[in-house]
Amino acid sequence: MSGLSQPTLRRIIRQALEQTDLADTLPESLLAQLKLPPLAESLHLLHAPPPEYSIGQLSDGSLPAWQRLKFDELLAQQLSMRLARAHRLSGQAMPLVGDGSLAKTLVQSLPFALTAAQDRVLAEIRQDLAQPHPMHRLLQGDVGSGKTIVAALSALAAIEAGAQVAVMAPTEILAEQHHIKFRQWLEPLGISVAWLSGSLKKKEKDQAKAALADGRIRLAVGTHALFQDDVSFQNLGLVIVDEQHRFGVAQRLALKNKGCDVHQLMMSATPIPRTLAMSFFADLDVSIIDELPPGRTPIKTRLVNNIRRHEVEGFVLATCKKGQQAYWVCPLIEESEALQLQTATDTLAELQAALPELTIGLVHGRMKSAEKATVMAEFAAGRIHVLVATTVIEVGVDVPNAALMVIEHAERMGLSQLHQLRGRVGRGAAVSSCVLLFAEPLGDTAKARLKVIYENTDGFEIARQDLNIRGPGEFLGARQSGLPLLRFADLEQDLPLLEAARRIAPELIARHPDIVEKHLERWLASREGYLGV
């Protein structure tokens, strides 16, 4: 605030404090129990601290006055989340209870057995679907833990009960992958699976929409095209959203509104750290697939300076000569698809010159769906040795023979993205490797990220450290649309306060609705309805 002298600023703050209603929203007995000072006293102390307090004490957030503000903020968040959850549980949804015959037939036809974690999670989902209020469950599982088959079996529970299912993915390539898998699993059971995406021809799109509207199609897979106004369902009962953090709240709401109050299953391979699950995701029920299918081999991660690129090319050749395949990924540069495409094209030419004995393919975001599908099919069939790709292969692509992942400019990528890409290999019996190429100079954040991904393979630990590096704002992605982020509290540092707020919130809602209303009015004002999806 240039032009304002210290005395003027002090006077304005003093007047603001005098003219604002600082009456406590919380009862004295609760403050005494938590050893927290009154709100007015806390604000006055922080704005006009006595001389005995050092700058360190005032800025590190440990003073009781700071603790009071942090607790109030965390309590407001907990109250709003619990009320959002209660509101959802008061809604009406179609109970979806089938006889289990379709799911049983599919499980018997699979070439693998479900893990104990998958069985446990399926039981949780089926129990939710049987309720007369809408399910709001987040299914977490590390890369390769088998979320898709759990989604398919959940969909069958809804279909057995006479409902339609919509499966939504953020990218065409992931949606296509789901479409292929769901057709492979469900069509032998006599269930028609539709495909809806922006790239479909008008005639194909119209046919799919008509079949959804009259109920001939029981399950639709697609991208954002699923929630356009002209798409209607005869009896939508379950919405499955993959990589849900990539969709804005408004997009998820648009699809949800196509059914009265449909059951929602959200899937994420980006694990949510415990502190975030306790705070920003407290309105959701969370299921975790916490074991990988047997036979998965650990992935060796290597950090390699870009000046040793020729050595990596040699490693690619050696891998392919063993009968295995490799990915070579070029990252998004400055959010420009054109620049990214140029980088990928240059890399393709460079690798073709360096490795003339190998067949090298290319997939990128600007290709038509059919072209991408053709290249991916060639790679899956083993006719392409090396696939140069932009980050379109980040999620959902499954080629068990691929045993090497090379990621260019790994220093430009986020931890979640690096972990997702690394998870594209290690799906077969062979020992797999991930090479992270980086260019110097490296900033502190890039160094921290590369250290974390090099030292860890557990998605939950990577997510926890990612939260520490980035803070909740960036980590939350689309979830934060319309969500007030925490201004005072730090989730890791203030975990005891978060736990206290979690404990106290249900008591206040049950016994003191007047206190809850005043507290939310002060802290959230008009924003307390932000959690409907």
Residue 375, C-beta contacts closer than 8 angstroms, at least 6 positions apart: 361, 362, 363, 367, 384, 387
- Omega cis (within 30) before 484: no
DSSP state of 411: G
Sketch out the chain's domains with CATH numbers.
Answer: 1-92+513-518 (no CATH), 101-289 (3.40.50.300), 299-456 (3.40.50.300)
Digit-by-digit pLDDT tens for the chain (533 residues) are 567 888 888 888 888 888 888 889 999 999 999 999 999 999 988 888 888 888 888 888 889 999 999 999 999 999 988 998 888 888 888 999 989 999 999 999 998 899 999 999 999 999 999 999 999 898 988 877 889 999 999 999 999 999 999 999 887 777 888 888 899 999 999 999 998 887 778 888 889 889 999 999 999 999 877 877 788 899 999 999 887 555 444 554 555 555 567 899 999 877 777 788 788 777 788 899 988 777 777 899 999 999 999 999 999 999 999 999 999 998 765 455 555 556 888 899 999 999 999 999 998 877 877 788 789 889 989 999 999 998 666 555 678 899 999 999 999 888 888 998 898 898 877 899 999 999 999 999 899 999 999 999 888 888 888 888 877 765 565 444 445 568 899 888 899 999 999 999 999 999 999 999 999 999 987 554 444 44
**pLDDT of the residue at 259:** 53
Where do the H-state alpha helices sit in 306-433?
309-321, 337-354, 369-380, 415-422
Predicted confidence at residue 307, as pLDDT, reads 95
Q: Which residues contact 240 (CB under 8 A, 6 or more apart)?
A: 151, 154, 155, 165, 166, 167, 168, 264, 265, 266, 267
Distance CA 43, CA 31 (A): 15
pLDDT score of 293: 78
Q: Determine the pLDDT at residue 482.
A: 43
